[in-house]
Amino acid sequence: MKIDIVTIFPEFFGVLDVSLLGKARQAGIIDVGVHDLRDFTHDRHRTVDDTPYGGGAGMVMRPEPWGEALDAVVTPESVVVFPSPAGERFTQATARELALEPHLVFGCGRYEGIDQRVIDHAGSVARVREISLGDYVLNGGEVAVMAMIEAVGRLVPGVIGNAASLDEESHEGGLLEYPSYTKPAEWRGREVPPVLLSGNHGAIAAWRHEQQLERTRARRPDLLS
């Protein structure tokens, strides 16, 4: 999979060199290009924003540098993702869909957003999705894009050694994950649930499923409806 990121803070994405995603990059499974939006400006101050037409608070990102940056990376096969609190909600299903794509382009907005014509234009040359991480406002798209890349990247075949571990996670079966335990069997007076030591695989599976239901009912009843 190829990933291109356009941002005014390329240094934000240095963390993509570490951990599982770093290994996936070194192995050539995921190829990430980070592009500084200011490299596509032509004025001395490398200006990327201006005041909003119609008035109002804050600044809007100007279309010209965005147009040039997207011209440099977007192809008809790309899916262009603009993180935005006004977007569709990002879920595990979104991550699964994006993990199937050969090329993702992430356009990180700052300030009050990007001139809408940039998003409309991108939609005329490729598939575009405006995606929100959740119902809260971040200062810009960078942190949201990091979260999306981590959620998507780990679903790309070969990134996680034990693919079976992906099947039993929270949100994969529509339920939250069951609690996990490891050695020792007793710690600070707390015991591991005896069923997990029983060796009875049927009983263990039933207990885990009951735990999933109980947790989901208590913490995320919206997932059950």
Minimum CB distance to ligand ADE smaller for 141 or for 153: 141
In the complex, minimum distance from the CB of residue 147 to ligand ADE, in angstroms, rounded to a whole number: 9
Q: Does 94 bind ligand ADE (CB under 6 A)?
A: no
Q: Which member of 83, 103, 121, 212 binds ligand ADE (CB under 6 A)?
A: 83
172-181 contacts at long range (C-beta below 8 A, 24 or more positions apart):
172/92, 173/212, 174/223, 175/212, 175/213, 175/215, 175/216, 175/223, 176/212, 176/215, 176/216, 176/219, 176/220, 176/223, 177/212, 177/215, 178/207, 178/208, 178/209, 178/211, 178/212, 178/215, 179/211, 179/215
Tokens of 54: 């119609």
Among 123, 134, 158, 174, binds ligand ADE (CB under 6 A): 134
Under the binding rule (CB under 6 A), the answer on residue 138 touching ligand ADE is yes
* Nearest to ligand ADE of 89, 219 (CB atom): 89
Among 41, 92, 94, 132, binds ligand ADE (CB under 6 A): 132
CB of 110 to ligand ADE, least distance (A): 9
Q: How far apart are the first and last CA of the chain?
A: 35
Q: For ligand ADE, which residue of 29, 46, 85, 96 counts as binding (CB under 6 A)?
A: 85
Count of positions on this chain that bind ligand ADE (CB under 6 A): 12
136 is a contact residue toward ligand ADE (CB under 6 A)? yes
Give the shortest CB-154-to-ligand ADE separation in angstroms.
19
Question: DSSP secondary-structure letter at 36?
Answer: E
Pairing between β-strand 186-187 and β-strand 49-50 as defined by DSSP bridges:
unpaired
- Minimum Å gap between C-beta 56 and ligand ADE is 17
Whole-angstrom distance, CA of residue 174 vs CA of residue 194 = 27
How far from chain centre, in Å, is Cα 33? 16
Residues that bind ligand ADE (CB under 6 A): 83-85, 132-134, 136-138, 140-141, 144
